Amino acid sequence: MAGDSRGRRFKSVPKDLPVKPISSRIKKSVFDILRPRLGGAKFLDLYAGTGSVGLEALSRGAEFAFFVDYDRRCLAVIDANLAELNLQARGRSGQGDVLQDLSWVGYRAGFPRFDIIYLGPPYRTQENKPLAYSTPSLARVIEAGLPAPDALILVQHHVKEEVSPPAGWERFRREKYGDTFVDFYRAAAATPASTATPAA
């Protein structure tokens, strides 16, 4: 971990949970890219797992982070890490399925909108079958109105998974790390209305 909590160790989830934490290489690269946007940001960590991404955001200057995971054992570890790092006032967690309605997130977090949203869904089932959660998860985020104006949404996914953003959103950057892509999305610029004079 870098930033204010540099060198601090935190708890990991139980080994029997099918959680694959983000690699140190990916995390460092992504947060180097995000550095100019982190100060004072509201950060949303979806499919939070160990909480590593949101904790890194807090360590690097984010004002607040909200963590969402379906497994309560992951949330217990995240809450313990927030306490260990003295970050309870700046972080909170909530249990939920990211593939379902997310309109509750803003209420539970205490903030209706987020400046940076990170999606790290699992790539495969425990039986090693490929999953494709990124596109529907991205749609749930937009439907719930969670992005703040000028928000960034990052989606970490397997290189073989095709991801399609909802209407009005565009991918403007992609980073490749081995078998992983991290895509950066933003609201697409509005197309100017035509000023051509209609034919008589």
Average pLDDT over the chain, rounded to an integer = 89
Q: What is the pLDDT of residue 3?
A: 54
How remote is the C-alpha of 32 from its chain's centroid? Answer: 15
> pLDDT (tens digit, 9 = 90+) per residue, 37-96?
999 999 999 999 989 999 999 999 999 999 999 999 999 999 999 999 999 999 999 999
Place of tokens 């539970």: 108
- Under the banding of pLDDT at 50, 70 and 90, the label for residue 11 is low
Report domain extents, the chain.
24-187
pTM beyond 0.85: yes
Q: What is the pLDDT of residue 19?
A: 62
- Under the banding of pLDDT at 50, 70 and 90, the label for residue 200 is very low
How far apart are the C-alpha atoms of 52 and 45, rounded to whole Å?
9
Q: What is the pLDDT of residue 152?
A: 98
Mean pLDDT across the stretch 164-182? 96
Element (H, E) at 187: strand 180-187
> pLDDT (tens digit, 9 = 90+) per residue, 92-136?
999 999 999 999 999 999 999 999 999 999 888 777 788 899 999
- Under the banding of pLDDT at 50, 70 and 90, the label for residue 4 is low
- The fold of 24-187 is Rossmann fold (3.40.50)
pLDDT > 60? residue 165: yes
What is the token pair recorded at 176?
Answer: 């490749």
DSSP 125-164: -TT--B---HHHHHHHHHHTT-EEEEEEEEEEEETTS---
DSSP 19-46: --PPPHHHHHHHHHHHHHHHTT-EEEEE
